[in-house]
Amino acid sequence: MSEEAPAAKATILIYSDDRHTRDQVKVALGRRVAADVPELSTVECATHQAAIKVLDEGGIDLVIADGEAVPLGGMGLCRQAKDEVANCPPFLLLVERVADAWLATWSRADAVVPYPIDPIRLPASVADVLRARLGEQARVS
């Protein structure tokens, strides 16, 4: 007996000032990160102002934020969003140095993945965060 995948899409906001980084994330994720999570839809933002606007509009299931973005890195965006955005979605931070993990804790990130972008590790982490998010939304409904 085969298990059917959810029909709805999960919308992921990819925040980075670097187009190459955004492209790497999209390629690593593909259309679906796991059979038991929805197909992915992505929204890209190159500035923190655009990212906050998209978050304020709602409908985002996960944010993947570049910790190296300038002028506001993903950690700063995460901290700001967790403070200011109602029903803030989970954040997965991409960090350059493993030592930056403590900063991710300060920013209240839900997950951390180090650079370089790994096509196995990133989708696995995204699937874990989406499972938790979608399970939480199902319990609230």
Query: Is 34 a domain residue?
Result: yes
With cut-offs at 50, 70 and 90, classify the pLDDT of residue 135.
confident
Q: How many domains does the chain have?
A: 1
pLDDT in tens, 90-106: 999 999 887 777 777 88
Q: 3-state class of 84 per DSSP? A: helix
At 139 the pLDDT is 56
- CATH number of the domain enclosing 79: 3.40.50.2300
* 77-108: burial string, b at 16+ Cβ within 10 Å, e else: bbbbbbeeeeebbbbbbbbeeeebeebbeebe
At 140 the pLDDT is 57
Query: Is 133 a domain residue?
Result: yes
Could you tell me which residue, 84 or 104, shows the higher pLDDT? 84
The range of the structural domain enclosing residue 75 comes to 9-140
Instruction: Indicate whether this model's pTM tops 0.85.
Output: yes
At 50 the pLDDT is 97
Determine the Cα–Cα distance for residues 43 and 35; give it in Å rounded to an integer. Answer: 21
Q: Strand locations in the chain, DSSP E?
A: 9-15, 39-45, 62-66, 91-95, 111-114
At 103 the pLDDT is 78
Query: Is 3 a domain residue?
Result: no
Residue 6 has pLDDT above 70, yes or no: no
Residue 72 has pLDDT above 70, yes or no: yes
Determine the Cα–Cα distance for residues 41 and 14; give it in Å rounded to an integer. Answer: 10
Query: Is 90 a domain residue?
Result: yes
Query: Is 70 a domain residue?
Result: yes
Picking from 127, 131, 128, 99, the residue whose alpha carbon sits closest to that of residue 114 is 99
Report the Cα–Cα distance between both ends of the chain, in Å, rounded. 28
pLDDT in tens, 11-68: 999 999 999 999 999 999 999 999 999 999 999 999 999 999 999 999 999 999 999 9
